[in-house]
Amino acid sequence: MVSAMTVPKPLRFTASGPDRSEAPAELAGALTDAGIDIVGMREERRDDTLTLSFLLALGDDPVLAERLRTAVFPRAVSLGLTAELRRPAAGREPRRPSPDRLVLTVAAVTVPSRPVAAVIETVQRHHAAVVGIRGLTDRGFRAGEFLVAPGAASDPVALRDALLREVEALGLDAGLAPEAAHRRGKRLVVFDMDGTLVEGEVIDRLAREAGVEPAVAAVTSEAMEGRLDFRESLLRRVALLAGLPETVLDRMAGDPPVTPGAEETLAALRARGCRLAVVSGGFTPFTEVLKRRLHLDHAYANTLEVAEGKLTGRVLGEVLDGAGKARCLEEMARAEGVPLDQVAAVGDGANDVPMLQAAGLGVAFRAKDVAGDRPTPSFNGTISHRCPIFLGWAKGSASPLGIGNRSRSTDMELGLEGKVALVAGASAGIGYGAAAMLAREGARVVLASRDLGRIEAAAERIRAAGGEATGLALDVTDPDAGERFVASAGDAFGPPEILVTNAGGPAGGGFDTLTAADFEAATRLSFLSAVNLTRAALPAMKNAGWGRIVHISSATIIEPNDDLFLSSAVRPAVAGFSKALAREVAPLGITVNLVCPGYIATERLKDLAARRAREAGTTEAEAMEAMSATVPAGRIGRVEELASAICFLCGEPASYVTGVALRVDGGKVAFLL
């Protein structure tokens, strides 16, 4: 969203003392009973001491504050814990994905009375611990993620199976995946057709037209429950359709009953840069229509033999069974250049199990008995609500499971919740504006600038407004600046997914006032800094299969400014670098763009106005008015307007925008391109 919003200031409720196993669930339950939303949670155990830290969406509500004081604090004391309430600090929660930890994703079918406590208790029964909670969002839909650390006595397979079964018994859809795989961006998503993208079974509808519905339905039921080999069952069912006119097949394929929410889900996945496919044990006329209607990239299915305008009751070529579906998924991944751990598959029956297991993440939708028994995320609700959640993507603006979330007025959902962003030159001006807006959109931001005091103060302002941010003293002209920037992000939040480069700007003045050293310094500051920061951040983005790089440049790359000779000479190199890199990394789900500000109200613009005033013998205000008069919009731009453009380029809706130089100049530059 790029608009006005209300962000309640979160508070961190911390309780520490003797390690008592019941404390996490008891305090979570007390908070839920008090009507206080839990935004996040962290648990630490050291030397028999337990520290619980809950991030609460308390805001300035005096009623909730009173409930916290009179109900929750006493409960902590009764558990032998010392409690305190304070503003959250940045960089304290480890964000790097762990190979041992699991992400338990839950979405409410019916809501338990104390949902957070119920999930924590379930996890603890299996010698594991909930060490973190993160709210997911989805248009008023209730969901959440629990970070689970298996204990030394945990059996990984038994833990996974038991957690899924018992959490689902609470009235929650549940999915469990290794943290690293869950956080990894998905670049190819493969769907089954019958029962997943399309309601019901296509062959049952054909059987109804042929007058053999009971016989075909009986065979279908055996196959989907895993009691009959799919190949044999398909051949038997197709044989029963012999003599059905081809015109009936074409008529039925022309109007498939698409599952409610499927079109919305696929559109959202396309906006995230995903390639989409349908792989079906059904028939090609139906998958080809779906491919066109739903804008899919690939479609695979069985081909029915037709002779003299009627079905012969035979299948042409190899039957596409469960193993065949898995092979199709693997072939598509190779063709698209996508590693299998960045592939997701969604299906509903026994025939889909090999495909779900071949993918990096398999999701069972309205699972039949066999698919539902597999250790894979499973859900039974609306596909548009559940599917993005179980693929690891938050969506919309809900208050999940008593796990609170920021209130916001949504014009456009940018999908930046939880993303790790690096913003250079961020202590003030354009860089700070971009960092602050990214944080308001839910990104976790590492700010950098040369002055430690100023950058820490900038990060603190973002934290005070409810964002997650940490500051780093960094000179972007240092050769190792990129590595330090990325390492700082890893320590605080995790691998970078967004990079915004910004380095102020080189000295002003005309050519005669500049030295060779000035040109070398400007090249290091305005060009090589962008190259080096990009080089350091790019490997993590490639590994994730998702990334956004935005270089803050200047309108001088298009129209040189006599007062800014160095900027006009050096900055076009960044434009060429961005364009070339954008073409190279676009297949990897990474976009690279340039933002070219015109006159924006910053200290640098004031300096330019002051210099012009001195040269013209006028006041600074008059110089500023003269600059405004050259802008068709009739005014100087605001930092927030430029930050909005940067946030858009960093978001999901801009996944098809790459290699562009976006001018934010009020129409000042009078060129078509």
Task: Please check whether residue 416 is in contact with residue 422, taking contact to mean a CB–CB distance below 8 angstroms.
Answer: no
The amino acid that residue 485 corresponds to is: F
Sign of CA dihedral 633, 638, 639, 642: negative
Integer Cα distance of 47 and 379 in angstroms = 40
State how beta strands 188-191 and 343-347 pair.
parallel
Integer Cα distance of 241 and 306 in angstroms = 11
475 is catalytic: no
Any idea what the Cα angle at residue 538 is, between residues 536 and 541, rounded to 5°?
135
Three-state DSSP state, 637: strand
State how beta strands 82-86 and 11-18 pair.
antiparallel
Q: What is the dihedral of CA 146, 152, 158, 163, to 10 degrees?
A: -20
Any idea what the Cα angle at residue 321 is, between residues 319 and 325, rounded to 5°?
115
**CB 204: neighbour CB atoms within 10 A?**
15
Task: Extract the tokens encoding 198.
Answer: 């399309």
Task: Please check whether residue 554 is in contact with residue 505, taking contact to mean a CB–CB distance below 8 angstroms.
Answer: yes
N-to-C CA span, the chain: 28
Q: What is the dihedral of CA 151, 154, 160, 161, to 10 degrees?
A: -150
Strand locations in 513-648 (E): 547-552, 590-597
CA distances in angstroms from 476 to 52, 450, 613, listed in the order given: 38, 8, 31
497 half-sphere exposure, CB direction, 13 A CA radius? 25
Helix and strand totals (H; E) in the chain: 26, 22
Task: Extract the tokens encoding 27.
Answer: 């305090």
Task: Please check whether residue 596 is in contact with residue 614, taking contact to mean a CB–CB distance below 8 angstroms.
Answer: no
Phi/psi of residue 564, each to 5°? -125, 60
Integer Cα distance of 293 and 88 in angstroms = 48
321 half-sphere exposure, CB direction, 13 A CA radius? 14
Phi-psi region of 80 (alpha: psi -120 to 50; beta: other; left: phi over 0): left
Task: Please check whether residue 348 is in contact with residue 195, taking contact to mean a CB–CB distance below 8 angstroms.
Answer: yes
665 is catalytic: no
CA 618 to chain centre: 51
Q: Which helix (H) or strand (E) holds 616?
A: helix 603-616
Integer Cα distance of 536 and 14 in angstroms = 36
Q: Please pick, among 37, 138, 173, 192, the residue that the annotation labels catalytic.
A: 192
Helices (H), 179-321: 179-183, 202-210, 213-224, 230-240, 246-253, 262-271, 284-293
Largest pairwise CA distance in the chain: 95
C-alpha R_g of the chain: 28
Q: Please pick, among 37, 138, 173, 194, the residue that the annotation labels catalytic.
A: 194
Integer Cα distance of 277 and 338 in angstroms = 13
State how beta strands 275-283 and 590-597 pair.
unpaired
**CB 222: neighbour CB atoms within 10 A?**
17
Q: Which residues are annotated as catalytic?
A: 192, 194
